[in-house]
Amino acid sequence: MLAAVASLAVGACSARDTGSTGSGAPTSAAAAPQQAADAADPKGDGKAVCSGATLAYAGTINGGSAALGQNILYGVDLAVKQHNEANPGCQVTLKQFDTEGKPDKAPGIVTQVVNEPAILGVVGLPFSGESKATGDLFEQAGLVHITPSATNPALADHGWKTFFRGMGNDAVQGPAAAKFATETLKAKKVCVIEDDSEYGTGLAKEVTSKLGAAGGCSDKVKTGQTDFSAVVNKMLTEKPDVIFFAGYYPEAGPFAQQLNDKGITAKFIGPDGVKDTEFLKGAGAAAANAYFTCPCVPEDNFKDFTAAYKSVEGRDPGTYSPEGYDVATILLKGIDSGVKDRAGLLDFVTKYSGQGLTKKFKWDAKGELSDTPVWAYKVENGKIVNAGQIS
């Protein structure tokens, strides 16, 4: 059942500009946040002492939407490698567990995770469906897990004390996306297309509820669908100014391309599940007309992080790479503080308050953050670039 599990013997912010103009409209890309002077560093003071400590990444590594999980995994890997290089007396092992992002496969994988006593904390799971399917397993094991990207709001309503979210949920992203479509892109009519995932259906509901008079146009697609002719023909009839796609990039790419092939000129907005270079490949020429919303912070000014990520991981950081790095750093700080068991690390995260690269981290009783910025992105010269903070 475990498609890929690897044990890596890994070694090797003062107040920020909020990016707001005061008018509620997104500001320019120049408003990307600077790295805070007090941002947590996985290296710590280099004096940590520990033995046998293990963290895990659990989530998609292979599969249809693998790029989104890989972005996070490599951020986690970078944090652990930097920590181990700086702390010879505390070598933390990182194990990788591949769920392929599938809710039906994830419980078996997470069962393997919780049955390894050395694993004290987990970064994951990336997707809402698999997170919903495994939350009880983490809770029963008392194993803290921080998701850097699962955004369905209902995940925080199960009463799980081990669940923490490293960014804003769709109750934050949905209104921001509606605001971006109607206020920034000046859309008078928005069609919301949702896939059948836990993520897509939840996000579509949040966006639609805030569109007001601009809403009322909607349709549904299925995960794995490749022919979107029926929905495309409906868009020809509806003639929206903006099409918002609530789902992931494997379907969003060809859907956008088929819209473009039919001459539909509506602007295309995808959420965080679409914001990936794989979407650009799938959408082809249609990508030039695309925008994105994401509760992820642009890494434009995180120069040291970006340089280290490219050097160590051999690629550019992507959506949620900095968030993966941030939450891994928090778990590492817990180990460095002397935590030796799951209960101790859960208590450390529950009480944690500190600045990261992307935001201030302090969780409420449901595992939600109070600092939850949402940003807009656009395609420019074949790349996804910052288009300003929405909320």
pLDDT values of the chain reduced to their tens digit, one per residue, 391 residues: 233 333 333 333 322 333 333 333 344 444 788 999 999 999 999 999 999 999 999 999 998 899 999 999 999 999 999 999 999 999 999 999 999 999 999 999 999 999 999 999 999 999 999 999 999 999 999 999 999 999 999 999 999 999 999 999 999 999 999 999 999 999 999 999 999 999 999 999 999 999 999 999 999 999 999 999 999 999 999 999 999 999 999 999 999 999 999 999 999 999 999 999 999 999 999 999 999 999 999 999 999 999 999 999 999 999 999 999 999 999 999 999 999 999 999 999 999 999 999 999 999 999 999 989 999 999 999 999 999 999 8
> Are 237 and 266 in contact, with CB atoms under 8 Å apart?
no
Residue 315 domain-assigned (yes or no): yes
Same domain, 282 and 252: yes
Q: Which of 259, 294, 329 finishes a domain?
A: 294
Q: Which of 294, 324, 349 finishes a domain?
A: 294
Task: Check residue 25 and give its pLDDT.
Answer: 39
Same domain, 10 and 22: yes
What sign does the CA torsion over 40, 41, 46, 49 have? Answer: positive
The boundaries of the domain holding residue 108 are 5-168+298-362
SS3 call for 193: strand
Residue 350 per-residue DSSP state: H
Same domain, 69 and 38: yes
Task: Check residue 11 and give its pLDDT.
Answer: 32
Same domain, 200 and 152: no
Same domain, 243 and 123: no
- CATH number of the domain where residue 236 is located: 3.40.50.2300
Residue 178's beta-bridge partner residues?
Answer: none
Same domain, 182 and 268: yes
Residue 222 domain-assigned (yes or no): yes
Backbone φ and ψ for 273, nearest 5 degrees, come out as -70, -10
The separation between the first and the last C-alpha atoms of the chain, rounded to the nearest angstrom, is: 41
Cα 217 to Cα 133: distance, rounded to the nearest angstrom:
31
| Nearest-10 Cα torsion for 196, 198, 202, 203 | -80
pTM for this entry? 0.90
Q: Which residues touch 39 (CB under 8 Å, ≥6 apart)?
A: 13, 355, 356, 357
Using alpha carbons only, give the angle 246, 320, 146 rounded to the nearest 5 degrees. 95
Task: Check residue 306 and give its pLDDT.
Answer: 97
Q: E strands within 51-185?
A: 54-59, 93-98, 119-123, 144-147, 163-165
Residue 386 domain-assigned (yes or no): no
Residue 191 domain-assigned (yes or no): yes
Residue 377 domain-assigned (yes or no): no
Which two structure tokens, joined as six digits, stand for 41? 């560093």
Same domain, 116 and 263: no
Number of domains in the chain: 2
Same domain, 271 and 230: yes
Residue 382 domain-assigned (yes or no): no
Task: Check residue 130 and give its pLDDT.
Answer: 97
Crossing angle of helices 106-114 and 128-141, rounded to 10°: 30
Task: Check residue 51 and give its pLDDT.
Answer: 96
Residue 137 domain-assigned (yes or no): yes
SS3 call for 235: helix
